[in-house]
Amino acid sequence: MFGLCHLLGFRFAPRIRDLADRRLYVAGDRADYGSLGAMIGGSINLHCIKENWDEVLRMAVSIRAGTVAPSTLMRRLAAYPRQNALAKALRESGRLERTLFTLDWISDPALRRRTNAGLNKGEARNTLARALFFHRHGELRDRTFENQRYRASGLNLTIAAIILWNTVYLSRAVDERRAGGAHLPDELLAHIAPLGWEHISFNGDYVWPTEPLTGHFRPLRNPRSPFLEAA
C-alpha cells in the first residue's frame, strides 16, 4: 500500500498503533543507528526495484488510466508474492516509503494529530452509516450486485443529506453566534465535522412537504431557553 500510493501521487498515512513492533529498512550496509537499532529489520533490495522499475511504472499508469482495478491487481500480486518480480519490487519500494513515514511519525507530533483526526472523522462517518442502516442490522442481503449497489447508493445518499443539513445549520449557528459578539476562530471550526445525528429521528412517520422549502430554514434553538434549562 505504501509503495502503490506513492506511485499514484499521494501519501498513505495510516495511524501506527504498535510502533514497537514496526520495522525500519535501510539502504545499503547496516550501520549504527543508535536508539533505532532495535527497529531495523533489514536492507532494501534496491537492485530488485531498479530491474523491475519499468514494469512498476507500467502498473501505476494502468491504474491511473483505469485500465485495471487496483483491487484486482493487488489480489493477483498477493497470490504469488515470492515468484512475482513485480510484487517483490513493489514490496521493496513500499518498505522504503513505510520507513520514511514511520520516521516522520516518530519525529512529527503534528503528523500524528492530523492522522488521528482524519481517522476519527472516518470512524464517525462509519458510525453514522451503521446507525442509519438499522433495517437489516447493517447487512446487505440482496442477492444481485445491482440491488446491492442500489442499497449502498441509497445509504450514501442519506449520509450525504445529513451531512449537508448539518453543514448548513452549523454555518447558520456560527453566523448567529458571531453576530452576537462571540469569538469563533476559523482554525477551531476546522475541527468540527458535520456527522452528528443525535438531533435526527430515524424511526417514526416520515412527512414530506407538498411544497418545496426553498429559501426557508427551520428556526435555530436557543440554548438559554427555559425549556432546555428545565430539561
Q: Which residues contact 119 (CB under 8 A, 6 or more apart)?
A: 15
Q: Which is more confidently placed, 100 or 20?
A: 100
Cell of 213: 422549502
Q: Which helix (H) or strand (E) holds 42?
A: strand 40-43
CA dihedral sign, ordered 36, 39, 42, 44:
negative
pLDDT at 230: 34
- Global pTM reads 0.59
What is the mean pLDDT of the segment spanning 111-136? 80
Place of cell 513515514: 101
Q: Count CA within 13 A, CB hemisphere, residue 16.
A: 20
User: Which of 32, 11, 18, 20 has the alpha carbon at shortest distance from 94?
Assistant: 11
pLDDT in tens, 43-90: 888 888 888 888 888 888 888 888 888 788 778 777 765 668 888 888
Place of cell 450514501: 156
pLDDT at 223: 63
End-to-end CA distance of the chain: give it in Å, rounded.
50
Rounded to the nearest 5°, which phi and psi values hold at 24?
-100, 145
Cell of 3: 509503495
Long-range contacts from 102-110, C-beta under 8 angstroms, 24+ separation: 102/16, 102/19, 102/22, 102/24, 103/24, 105/16, 105/19, 106/19
CB burial readout 144-183, b (16+ within 10 A) else e: eeeeeeebeeebeeebeebbeebeebeeeeeeeeeeeeee
Place of cell 526495484: 49
Backbone torsion region of residue 27, taken as left when φ is above 0, otherwise alpha when ψ lies between -120 and 50, otherwise beta: beta
Q: What's the rounded Cα separation, in Å, for the pair 74 and 81?
A: 10
Quote the mean pLDDT of the chain.
80
Q: Assign 228 a pLDDT band (cuts: 50, 70, 90).
A: very low
Q: Which residues contact 220 (CB under 8 A, 6 or more apart)?
A: 169, 172, 173, 176
Structural Rg of the chain based on CA atoms: 25
